[in-house]
């Protein structure tokens, strides 16, 4: 396996954090190969000794690129931004950059960690739906409020940014947990705006090589 | 209240996310005023209508600076880095930058959100200690593993970075929840290295204006 060849993304079809990175790679037109890591099979391949050497947090995604292995989706996206300036996903203006990071962090620290698979297993089957709904609703209320000040066509103004790479997968997770999205009209509008965008479509769970055939659209 | 005067940090003495930003401000020698937000009083001042306009996530910290209000600690620290290049807290090298962000994100997305006050109240009094210990131990195991590859005197090489701003407050939280830190020797070494650093000391919970007198060292 050449570490200096095409980047390899350790990914799971339904992982929202893997999906963020897939969108960013697609938007920047960076060719990559996917190495699927099943979060389900045998209790989760992310907990195997082999994968723990890739990512000690036992999470996807991880990206092998430029001879290094990177973990944490926001880190990976910022690395791509710093090393592949084509099709920028961060604005130039420092205040707009802060707005993008705010939305990313609210989702990546304030919503997703509380409803990811590892946490929901620990919460238990009986309580997990209510638990996930509670934290997603709480977080999306804040995101909607931030968007009232920042959104244009997309999350921050009229250019697609890392904030959109985080928002769209989070909306998908919200639907999975049957969260009522009607209180979040700007979130819904941006989701509709991007649902047919080629980079977002190609990154969608249903278009992943490890998506089970019975789920594929 | 002048938005263009000295920056105002909405902070709570024991909040690890507020503490991260206090360290960064101190390291960069940026004068600031603290506006204490009690996370305890009357069910939490962060849930008041007034503060919800400052931060719709109802979390501290928030920073009023340059005529804007910023939320999310990592975002605030990166904004300071982008606008106040003195005493850099991010390396120049893209791979080292990625290492810093990895450690920051593991703590900010993988540990802290699972043991913050809002979540522990939702988990309930009976289970909260075991819950917090579980996620802190899990996360620090990953941090220790990352540090074996990245650490010099500090988290990434021999320069203090944003990773150290995140690590030290997380170690304090670990102690609060009686997590056994002996399995994490590099974490402990860096914690000792920085415990007497003036910027870290001045940011410590016990040195905050809103620290209750009975707690002050």
State the pLDDT at residue B214. 85
pLDDT, average across residues A138-166: 98
Q: Tokens for B65, please give them.
A: 């600076």
State the pLDDT at residue A216. 60
Give the pLDDT band (50/70/90) at residue B216.
low
C-beta atoms of B102 and A134 within 8 A: no
C-beta atoms of A98 and B146 within 8 A: no
End-to-end, the C-alpha distance of chain A in Å comes to 33
User: A90-134, pLDDT tens digit by residue?
Assistant: 999 999 999 999 999 999 999 999 998 889 998 899 999 999 999
Closest Cβ opposite residue A82 in set B55, B59, B94: B94
Q: Are strands B33-36 and B62-65 parallel, antiparallel or unpaired?
A: unpaired
pLDDT, average across residues B67-85: 97
In chain B, list all ranges with CATH 1.20.1050.10. Answer: 94-201
Query: What is the chain A residue with the closest CA to B118?
Result: A135
Neighbours of A153 (CB within 10 A): 13
- Residue A146 belongs to what H/E stretch? helix A128-150
Closest Cβ opposite residue B82 in set A97, A105, A112: A97
Integer CA distances (angstroms), B203 to A20, A117, B120, B175, in order: 34, 35, 24, 17
State the pLDDT at residue B1. 44
Q: Is the pLDDT score of B84 beyond 70?
A: yes
CATH class assigned to B8-87: alpha beta
CB contacts < 8 A (A, B): 101
**Residue B28 near residue B92 (C-beta atoms within 8 A):** no
Query: What's the predicted TM-score (pTM) here?
Result: 0.96
| B94-201 carries CATH number 2.40.30.10 | no
pLDDT, average across residues B73-102: 98
Of A92-106, B11-25, B121-135, the poorest mean pLDDT is in B121-135
pLDDT, average across residues A175-202: 98
User: B134-181, pLDDT tens digit by residue?
Assistant: 999 999 999 999 999 999 999 999 999 999 999 999 999 999 999 999
Contact list in B for residue A133 (CB cut-off 8 A) is none
C-beta atoms of B72 and A97 within 8 A: no
pLDDT, average across residues B20-33: 98
In chain B, list all ranges with CATH 3.40.30.10. Answer: 8-87
């Amino acid at each position: 396996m050449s570490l200096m060849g095409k980047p390899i993304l350790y990914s799971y079809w339904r992982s929202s954090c893997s999906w963020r990175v897939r969108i960013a790679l697609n938007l920047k037109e960076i060719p990559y190969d996917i190495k699927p890591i099943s979060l389900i099979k045998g209790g989760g391949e992310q907990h195997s000794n082999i994968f723990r050497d890739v990512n000690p947090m036992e999470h996807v995604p991880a990206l092998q690129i430029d001879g290094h292995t990177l973990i944490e989706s926001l880190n990976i996206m910022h690395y791509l931004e710093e090393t592949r300036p084509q099709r920028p996903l961060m604005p130039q203006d420092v205040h707009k950059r802060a707005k993008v990071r705010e939305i990313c962090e609210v989702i990546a620290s304030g919503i997703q960690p509380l409803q990811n698979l590892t946490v929901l297993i620990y919460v238990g089957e009986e309580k997990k739906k209510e638990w996930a709904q509670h934290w997603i609703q709480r977080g999306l209320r804040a995101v909607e409020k931030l968007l009232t000040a920042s959104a244009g066509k997309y999350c921050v103004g009229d250019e697609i940014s890392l904030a959109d790479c985080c928002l769209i997968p989070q909306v998908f997770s919200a639907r999975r947990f049957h969260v009522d999205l009607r209180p979040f009209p700007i979130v819904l509008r941006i989701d509709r705006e991007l649902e047919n965008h080629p980079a977002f479509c190609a990154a969608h769970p249903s278009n992943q090589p490890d998506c089970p055939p019975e789920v594929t659209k």
